[in-house]
Chains A and B, each alone.
Chain A
Amino acid sequence: MNLRILNGESNHGSSRSGAYAQRNTDDHPPAHTPGYKTSVLRSPRNALISIAQTLTEVTAPHFSEDKFGPKDNDLILNCVQDGLPIGERIIIHGYVRDQFGRAVKNALLEVWQANASGRYRHPNDQYIGTLDPNFGGCGRMLTDENGFYVFRTIRPGPYPWRNRINEWRPAHIHFSVIADGWAQRLISQLYFEGDTLIDSCPILKTVPTDEQRRALIALEDKSNFIEADSRCYRFDINLRGRRSTYFENDLT
């Protein structure tokens, strides 16, 4: 038997050399969720095929700091034309960690959202809510060595959409994370504490448990409000984590 004991730090800076823990499908929406009508024709009929991870699934691209502009994480200022955008000034911050509690460093976090009217700057959005000439609605950042991130924005408005005819999304911000392993790739949405539309949203209801739905709600972070300037929300993100290998390493 080829028994190799791997030193934690020997693996090119990663102290965990095994596979990512299995995704718990009960913690996520199923693909086919008839209450969210578009999913009906856009969900596979076959079961997913689970595979044993290889180098392909445990590696991921690296993004270097110098490709980022100074206002990439400031949605209040990164698209201004002739003044500030209209709406509630908020800061959102938090930590990205893996399921074992370890900080996820240098992860690419990208966000996008509607403006204060609930209108998106997108060619396919025809909602009567007005566009804001000083608001773009996208931003991006890298987490620091503690897994911390922070961005500033205008709180998005709720908006109507055609699922049932009178459906309304709660205020939300879309986010995307690319971290250390392709298996961690995640896109989701964050909501705001206290929004009454949260309880009636068919997209949030695709998440099967109340505990997991609550994991998508950003919390009011009062002591971090900035006087006469901005309010603050706290939102943490958890990704899948890698196990260590203390016996055989079958990954390669």
Chain B
Amino acid sequence: MKNQAFDEWRETPSQTGGPYVHIGLLPKQADIDVFEHNFGNSLVDDKTEGQRIRLEGQVFDGLGIPLRDVLIEIWQADANGVYAGNADPQGTSADSGFSGWGRAAADFGTGFWHFDTIKPGCVPGRKGSTQAPHIALVVFARGVNIGLNTRVYFDDETDANAKDPVLNSIEWVKRRETLIARREDRDGERIYRFDIRIQGEDETVFFDI
């Protein structure tokens, strides 16, 4: 029922990325060598400031089977909690050695994915609050009609997590645990394990952002 017209458009509808999403978004993984500069899962170089970490995990379907055709992207602030994007109004400039964004695909055999990045600093929340360190993550795959948005928090940030406005907005306290990555130190490397369960028991919290 419309009785008035605004000059406003509808968002283009989403469709699944399909099983061959790698061709366009990670052509090297499909053995296609077209671009000189390829996007990938390493967000760090020699100049990046901050604690190096590796974020890794698998994505499971409703039967507990890992998705081996899934594509994941992350977006995060630098070590001081500043985003590299033009829209960050904090006034301080971001680490010029850090783009804040990366893209990874699961291994076709095992379903494992990982990123080499840094641990982000705290970012301001709404109305003067502070958010716990977190990484925004989105999942695209065959069978997924619209990208699934979630957040990764860290299990060694207990105090900050307890005060985080987004975690605290999840009414079911038990479900908050699905967003906490588990730290393990392996050969001097700091690893955070973050498994994503799309459906069923311990289903990961997904957000409408």
> Which residues of A come within 8 Å of B, CB atoms?
11-14, 17, 23-25, 27-31, 33, 36, 38-46, 48-62, 67-69, 72, 78-79, 97-101, 110-113, 120-125, 136-140, 174-176, 178, 180-183, 185-189, 203-204, 206-207, 211-213, 215-216, 237-240, 250-252
Contact = CB atoms under 8 A, between A and B. Distances in A.
15 contacts: A17-B89, A29-B15, A38-B142, A39-B143, A39-B145, A41-B143, A55-B88, A55-B89, A56-B123, A60-B87, A62-B84, A120-B20, A181-B87, A187-B21, A212-B10
Interface string B146-181: 111001000000000000011001100001000000
Given A57-B209, A187-B140, A99 B10 contact: yes
Given A43-B199, A99-B11, A56 B131 contact: yes
B104 interface: no
B208 A23 contact: yes
A248 B203 CA distance: 36
Interface of B: 7-25, 27, 30-32, 34-37, 61-63, 67, 69, 73, 75, 77, 83-90, 99-101, 108, 123-128, 131, 134, 136, 138, 140-148, 151, 165-166, 169-170, 175, 198-200, 203-209
Contacts of A61: 75, 84-85, 99-101
Given A216-B13, A240-B11, A43 B198 contact: yes
Contact of A59 (B27, B30, B88, B138): B88
Majority secondary structure of chain B interface residues (helix, strand, loop or mixed): loop
Nearest to A72: B35
- Give me the 7 closest cross-chain CB pairs, A-B, nearest first: A112-B24, A38-B143, A42-B143, A59-B85, A61-B101, A29-B145, A41-B62
Given A27-B10, A120-B20, A12 B142 contact: no
B169 to A, nearest CB: 6
